Structure 1
Amino acid sequence: MTASTGSRDRLLLEISSFITEHALAGTGEAEVVLGVCERLVAGGVPLCRMIVGVDTLHPLVVGRLHTWRRGSGIETTEFGREVIDSTMTSWASSPFHDLYTGGTSLYRFRYPPPDGRYPFTVLEELAAFGLTDYVACLQRLGDGVRLGELDCVYSSWATDGPGGFSDADVALFDALGRFLAASIVSRTVRQIACTLAETYIGAGAAERVLGGAIVRGVADRIRAVVWFSDLKGFTSMVDTVDPALVLPLLDDYAEPQVAAIHAHGGTVLKFIGDGLLAIFPVGEDAAEACERALAATDAALSALAEVSARRSSNGLPTTGAYFALHVGDVFYGNIGGADRLDFTVIGPAVNEAARMSAMCRPLGRDVLVSQAFAGALSQLQRRLSPVGSHTLRGVAQPQALFAVIPESRKRDDV
């Protein structure tokens, strides 16, 4: 065993222990990568540039890349799905693509090339930085670990040192790549779990589920503003428009509502056809929660009007939405079968909000609120106009309902 190999073996043990310790502690990827690079340099490895990247399973983000440069620290870049087409050319002409499609796991390139030719565009671009050696590694994930596009972790290691890397350095990178991949996959899988939970059941419900609230029939009794909305004339619209236009329409009209609810501290629980169920949990002050829900409704109405204007100018079908706001006690937790649960809210307040939404059309109002909601408001009661007591289907007693006057209109215009 040469001295160089022995020193690299000791360095491998030190850095792999560092990676493992921080992986178990849940340390962020960038911090781990930074620590690895700093320890390599301190251990005598002539590293000047290193990158590690991973694809992920996310509705908006394709993947992320951590880039370390000597003297500059580390930089993290996320790639959104909107730029994937523009990055395909560079990906296809990279050493990583060659490793990915060729079934190998390590590629090395020494500068300058004897024939003056660069097999990959990025290698020629990096030549301007005075590199003398470049190593690319690809760690493939097994079938039991892969999640969507998360199927490998790639890294590259470069030096501008006059002698390049030693063979022991290259072996060290190959070994460390495996430890880094395991660490990054562990962290990424947790992020994917959080993302999927938040995307499909909402941030508040996701936090509870990932925190251990997964037992069927266990629910918390909370007080909340219940939001129920649905699209105007959607059932008849589905029968008359091109089916290919229905899903984009639903997306266009759901997005502003979701954005408004989240911006005002609410949680979207589920989509029910063209309907949307959300809650605004009540803290110490019910008026504050009601005011946030009302502000979210205002924001949604404004944004939906813009959506309709844009769609109309493009010759696409348009619609609007009805909104119902109620406040009351609900049960918030797991409901369903033993192996198929829904984390949602149930209770009379939820049913009443849904029935109130159905009253918007016959009453000719876009937004209706309940007596309980109106009673919780303080200064904003001036924006409410009584529309009488009405019998709601499945509700024993007639309920007093109030229309919401748009902010841009005066009370005497109603």
Structure 2
Amino acid sequence: MDRTEIDRIAAWLTTQGLKGTDEGHILQGFCERCVAAGLPISRALALIDTLHPVYEGRAFQWDSREEVDSVFDYGPSDEGNAAENWKRSAFHHLRETNGDEIRRRIGFGEPLDFFMLDTLLAAGHRDYVAMIHRFAQDSHIGEMDCFYSNWVTTDEEGFAEEHLAALRSLVPVLALAIKAGSLNRISHTIARVYLGEDAATRVLQGRISRGRAERISAVLWFSDLQSFTRITESLAPDDIIPFLNDYADAVISAIHEAGGNVLKLIGDGTLAIFKAEDREEACRQALRAERLLRAKLAVLNAERTAAGRPTTLVYLGLHIGDVFYGNIGSADRLDFTVIGPAVNEVSRIASLCRFVDRPVLMSSPFVSAAPPPSDREVVSIGRYALRGVKLAQELFTLMPRPEEAMEPRLPDSLAALTSSPKNDF
């Protein structure tokens, strides 16, 4: 490869990085251009750590001879077989020795002392080069502190010195382009995980000015767990978070699957909105989320009961009203949320569930706007004064299906703790 080809590929990488092109497409385009310019890459792998609640990082691979998964996420590398494979890898060796590059001419008798080298040799590859390009300490995001890559060839002579020189010149630019794409993806992941899909979209579109909010009409969902405080007081500290996560996953996934947006997790409580333009459709989505939640809870409670772990149910309040949706807070700490009397009312409605012994309570405005459920009867339970709300409100509930039971099954040691109707708040 001459200098002109190297400069041309570097310019292409710069453009892709500025555009925020997907990392897998960047690696594919890079390899194809290198091969066309005379650099005999037969297979390439690139890794970069990420910031994600489940995955440790993301891998990108390319093969000139076969179809491979161009992008895949990988889990923790410090446990099980993944830990053993990592310790045997060339990348781990480079980290331990503070090296930047290592080469094995595997088709010319050099040792197969790193993970996967024997597999590569069996597949006809003859030369292997692994590289690490480290980021500055103050530019780390989570564990994302460097860019890993390896390059192999089936060429009978292996990589020539001019090929290695081209890689040494181009891979840092590739690393920068992929880092740009990864940072774009990470910013979206963080925003969605901590703000919710809709709020994240608005923030990433630039709606972060303090006090910037819009008035919307929305269906409001507020739910919390039955007897959460009493149950967790009897759990070992290490069991509390898994207990909460199990039920939070059921609630949040049901809301998302039905088209809602979770705005806030408040201990065991969840605040969400359904803001379809048509009020009836928003109510329909909320009722679908409630049905999904009950189905998920049935499965979850069966699994936890079989494992001898405590179970619970979810209390849910549904309301509809006008709220302000946007940024509230100080100049350097904002929260993207909803505020207004309707928000306070829906939390008060949910808190009444434990006193009237019903899993779902709905306000009169919600019932007036909602399509009647086809499988359950909506019944008024009377007018109730809500704490902090001037006027009493008529509340409604859904009659249970014959197969539904109000109380979850609990281990004997916890059954007595859940018999009192006292408010957990």
The two structures have a TM-score, normalised by structure 1, of: 0.92
Residues 274-321 of structure 1 deviation map (CA, whole Å, 9 limit, x = unaligned) = 1110111131x2111101101101111221232222222222222211
> For the residues of structure 2 that align with 1:157 and 1:263, how far apart are their CA atoms?
42
> For the residues of structure 2 that align with 1:243 and 1:27, how far apart are their CA atoms?
44
Which one is further off, 57-66 or 262-271? 57-66
- Map residues 9-408 of structure 1 onto 2, 5 A cutoff: 9-72=3-66, 75-81=69-75, 85-114=80-109, 117-283=111-277, 285-380=278-373, 383-407=377-401
For the 8 Å contact 1:333–1:345, the answer to whether it is kept is yes
In the TM superposition, residue 118 of structure 1 has moved relative to its aligned partner by 1.9
Matched AA of 2:84: T
In the TM superposition, residue 148 of structure 1 has moved relative to its aligned partner by 1.2
**Secondary structure at 1:229's aligned position in 2?**
strand
Matched AA of 1:253: Y
Alignment gaps of 5+ in structure 2: 405-425
In the TM superposition, residue 27 of structure 1 has moved relative to its aligned partner by 1.3
> For the residues of structure 1 that align with 2:159 and 2:230, how far apart are their CA atoms?
69
Which one is further off, 116-125 or 264-273? 116-125
Matched AA of 2:286: A
Which one is further off, 256-265 or 22-31? 22-31
Identity %: 41
In the TM superposition, residue 351 of structure 1 has moved relative to its aligned partner by 0.7
Alpha-carbon spacing, 1:239–1:154, altered in 2? closer, same or farther (3 Å): closer
**Secondary structure at 2:316's aligned position in 1?**
strand
Matched AA of 1:286: R
> For the residues of structure 1 that align with 2:378 and 2:126, how far apart are their CA atoms?
73
In the TM superposition, residue 180 of structure 1 has moved relative to its aligned partner by 1.0
> For the residues of structure 2 that align with 1:407 and 1:218, how far apart are their CA atoms?
44
Root mean square deviation, CA, Å: 1.9
Alpha-carbon spacing, 1:82–1:132, altered in 2? closer, same or farther (3 Å): closer
| Misfit runs of 4+, over 4 Å | 407-410
For the 8 Å contact 1:387–1:402, the answer to whether it is kept is yes
Matched AA of 1:75: D
Aligned length: 402
In the TM superposition, residue 177 of structure 1 has moved relative to its aligned partner by 1.3
For the 8 Å contact 2:20–2:184, the answer to whether it is kept is no
> For the residues of structure 2 that align with 1:289 and 1:30, how far apart are their CA atoms?
38
The two structures have a TM-score, normalised by structure 2, of: 0.90
> For the residues of structure 1 that align with 2:275 and 2:76, how far apart are their CA atoms?
34
> For the residues of structure 1 that align with 2:17 and 2:108, how far apart are their CA atoms?
38
In the TM superposition, residue 121 of structure 1 has moved relative to its aligned partner by 3.5
> For the residues of structure 2 that align with 1:78 and 1:227, how far apart are their CA atoms?
35
Alpha-carbon spacing, 1:408–1:113, altered in 2? closer, same or farther (3 Å): farther
Alignment gaps of 5+ in structure 1: 1-6
> For the residues of structure 1 that align with 2:107 and 2:238, how far apart are their CA atoms?
55
**Secondary structure at 1:276's aligned position in 2?**
strand
In the TM superposition, residue 19 of structure 1 has moved relative to its aligned partner by 0.3
